[in-house]
Amino acid sequence: MTRRFRIGILVVIVALASYLAYLIMAPFFAPLMWATVFAIVFYPVYRFILRYVRRPALASLATLTLVLVVLLGPLSYLSY
């Protein structure tokens, strides 16, 4: 086997492995994008609450509670 042939085989194997990894990870892309959007949107809220609470864990809990109310409140209203 020539060096060029071995490199070609390696490229094909890496491409196939990359495609299979993509197929495995594809269902997680949308939730990861939504999580990124929510993290970017609600980080200023966390910083605002942190200024008054001064405890990161408590500020995180308050932000999480606020996010759940903001997101699940309208959904529960629509489902009822």
Report pLDDT digits (tens) over 25-55: 999 999 999 999 999 999 999 999 999 999 9
Total Cβ atoms within 10 A of residue 8: 11
Would the pTM count as exceeding 0.75?
Answer: no
With 80 as the cut, is the pLDDT of residue 80 above it?
no
Residue 42 · residue 67 · CB < 8 Å: yes
Q: At a CB cut-off of 8 Å and minimum separation 6, what does 50 contact?
A: 56, 59
